[in-house]
Structure 1
């Protein structure tokens, strides 16, 4: 299967086509008969690292590989004490949005300040420019990069000087939650370099689903309707590479049942860790990003901060 690498900066006015021009119609994008892919959500605007000066954190961007970058957010209250690290994977439907957008930069900034933690927010490849499994491979490369800073000998001085790599928390929302699970299953199987340790996983409205035709189209190497990245296998659940998991579900989210099933299956899998579940009543998918001042959005960040600092 081949794709046209569409320019994400293409003006919306240039997408002039009719229903008869569509070969495949999915929730987030249309595939045209001429091979072009029209992602329905417009490209997001990205904010520079200087945005941190408005939200009380220091921010810089790093290149991990030619395909992978990350935004590092350091709380302004940094002391000599080493800080936990939140390795965050943004939600994208695997085909839109960006870690460097204002909403994700603000969310990660708030987590950095409220949890007093370093946040490493991963910018990974998305469809159609880079079909799945690029998102999983890029995120794994970024996690390996983070772990390479053991003994203060890694390429980034902020991580060397301030990060406690024995206290890494991997998390994400929507597609980022799905990717987080896949990473933690791999960590449970292969481990991480040096003394790096994943203490917990944080899933916000995670994206799972059996027979997801949109996901399978974006992943030409998929393993069929029950691909273990979308329908987690019991053996993967049983070896999740951390001791604690925090899951947020939104009552009116179309993915609520899939997220609830994930937590049920994780508990039954034989995994020896602990699972905490928070249900946001009357809320829809990833509402916490749309309005960061929402009281329940504030509560989500507070609960994440408590989870990171093991405060119950």
Structure 2
């Protein structure tokens, strides 16, 4: 072996991808994940919301975090609201402080049981792993509804007939794909009944860039370079971003025009590079007669509601979500 060849062979692997400081992918295929979240903020647990974890997939040791108001304002059973975290399918966790703090606020403000599931992350587990795990998380709720010895911490307060599935960014993508899979009324989940979906800045893609993806602010919180990296690391091997799980209107995507869907609320910030896709998604489904509404918050970045949950736009969003639940929970 020549000296040059020996030097090359001994060269250490180098970093080829990095996501928010918590995921690093190296040239030899190795992956390093940090135990620290990318949002280094304190957990704001004042005792007004009770919470605990439960395993919903023992095969992959996946857990979900349950929240409920410590002192509900009503004696009636509470609606159930899934909050599926974001992170481009590559990072994030139910246990990250920003996720937990937002779930505290959701439980208290919505007066609801909040269920926040984890899911397998890419690139170790590319799509459809996350979608499959989202489905298992709602099937877990069905198992509680029919169990002979259910978890009374949940069942005493939860209304299994009034379930809403929400997701933030990648979680919004999961929520959409669950809506398509379950269809109106979610018959395969009986006696659990989904009443609606809330897609918060849903993470959709496509091989043709939208106008705002191409021309939007380069310094956006979720910039194009990071969007592209997330898709490159999470899309199924050999596929493009027109894959049906990524692009709802791709060439191989199911025809949503003929599909009956539960009501959907779509939310996006006006400075979010994903806003064109969210608005286009809404307009197409509305044209096909679906009950769907789009709300855009001027000047707001991707994930504004968890980054600053006490801001005026975030508080307004909470009211909009609460009204949506009230309208469709009956």
Question: Residues 144-173 of structure 1: CA distance to partner in whole angstroms, max 9, x if unpaired?
Answer: 011223356463223321211111100111
TM-aligned CA distance change 1:308 to 1:64, over 3 Å: same
Give yes or no for contact 1:46–1:98 (8 Å, CA) kept in 2: no
Work out which of the residue numbers 141, 159, 183 in structure 1 matches 2:154.
Answer: 159
Equivalent positions of 1:124-163 (< 5 A) are 124-150=119-145, 153=148, 155-163=150-158
2:98 alignment counterpart: 103
1:294 to 281, 301, 311: 311
* Separation (CA, whole Å) in 2 of partners of 1:72 and 1:46: 22
Cα 1:254/1:41, change in 2 over 3 Å: farther
Aligned twin of 2:57: 65
Measured after TM superposition, the shift of residue 45 of structure 1 is 7.6
Which residue of 224, 227, 231 maps to 1:215?
231
- Contact 1:147–1:192 at 8 Å: present in 2 too? no
Q: TM-score, normalised by structure 1?
A: 0.81
Pairing partner for 2:188 from 170, 183, 192: 192
Taking the aligned partners of 2:143 and 2:326, their CA distance within structure 1 comes to 23
Who is 2:200 aligned against?
Answer: 204
Query: Any idea what SS the aligned residue of 1:293 has?
Result: coil
Deviates more, 1:182-191 or 1:195-204: 182-191
1:80 CA drift (Å)? 4.2
Q: Check conservation: 1:216, 1:222, Cα contact below 8 A.
A: no
Match status 1:274 vs 2:291: yes
1:305 matched to 2:297: no
Alpha-carbon separation, structure 1, partners of 2:96 and 2:40: 4
RMSD over aligned CA atoms reads 3.1
Unaligned runs of 5+ in 2: 1-10, 208-227
Q: How far is 1:303 from its partner?
A: 1.2
Give the superposition deviation at 1:188. Answer: 1.2
* Structure 1 residues 239 and 26: alpha-carbon distance in aligned structure 2, compared to 1, 3 A threshold: farther
Residues 131 and 293 of structure 1: CA distance in aligned 2, closer, same or farther (over 3 Å): same
Q: SS at the partner of 1:310?
A: helix
1:4 aligns to what?
none
Residue 200 of structure 1, CA deviation? 0.6
Alignment of 1:114-129 (within 5 A): 114-129=109-124
2:128–2:245 contact (8 Å) kept in structure 1? no
Q: Which runs of 4+ in 1 moved over 3 A?
A: 24-31, 37-48, 151-155, 219-225
Contact 2:94 2:117 in 1 (8 A): yes
Q: Supply the distance in 2 between the matched residues of 1:225 and 1:311 (Cα, whole angstroms).
A: 33
- Number of the residue aligned with 1:56: 48
2:255 to 235, 242, 247: 235
SS of 1:289's partner is helix
What SS class does the counterpart of residue 132 from structure 2 fall into? Answer: helix
Q: How far has the Cα of 1:33 moved from its partner?
A: 1.9
**How many angstroms apart in 2 are the aligned matches of 1:119 and 1:34?**
40
Q: Give the secondary-structure state (helix, strand or coil) at the position aligned to 1:35.
A: coil
Unaligned segments of structure 1, at least 5 residues = 1-16
Is the radius of gyration larger for structure 1 or structure 2? 2
Question: Is 1:154–1:160's contact at 8 Å kept on the other side of the alignment?
Answer: no
Q: Give the conservation status (yes or no) of the 8 Å contact 1:170–1:200.
A: yes
- What is the alpha-carbon distance in structure 1 between the residues aligned to residue 204 and residue 35 of structure 2? 21
* 1:40 to partner: Cα distance: 9.7
**Contact between 2:47 and 2:70, CA under 8 Å: does it hold in 1?**
no
Q: Secondary structure at the match of 1:224?
A: coil
Q: TM-score, normalised by structure 2?
A: 0.77
Displacement of 1:194 = 2.2
1:171 aligns with 2:161: no
